Amino acid sequence: MDAFIAQIDLSKFGFAAKILKSEGRPAYTNQLMLKIYIYGYFNGIRSSRRLETECCRKIELQWLTANLKPNYHSFADFRKINPLALKAVFKLFVLFLKDAGLVGAETVAGDGTK
């Protein structure tokens, strides 16, 4: 995941540029937020507040984020600002996994009622 995100140019997917402020801390990079978001997706963590908790608790996330711990509001804003870009990156990531042979795409599951 880290290598995949490092090799792609996120500006081509339409991610919003960082907002530069004259005061306060610098903004988290789109690469960092995307790493956490993809990690959460593959581990069944959808809640912004749970992602915040897991950044403090999971060692692999601490390594992935270089021990940075964004708050839940940062995750929520990232999702709200970049919905189309996230969809495009996820499609590319699935294609990357198929090419690497990590996903077979052979099983089809249907869900229905009664």
pLDDT of 1-60, one tens digit each?
A: 788 888 888 888 888 876 656 677 778 888 999 999 989 988 999 899 999 999 999 999
Q: How far apart are CA 103 and CA 52, in angstroms?
A: 28
Q: How many residues does this entry show for the chain? A: 114
- Per DSSP, 24 falls in state S
The residue written with tokens 């390594």 in the block is 63
Contact 86, 80 (CB under 8 A): no
User: What's residue 50's pLDDT?
Assistant: 94
Using the predicted structure, report yes or no on whether residue 109 has a pLDDT greater than 80: no
Nearest to 93 by CA among 23, 37, 29: 37
pLDDT of 56-85, one tens digit each?
A: 999 999 999 999 999 999 899 999 999 999
User: What's residue 48's pLDDT?
Assistant: 93
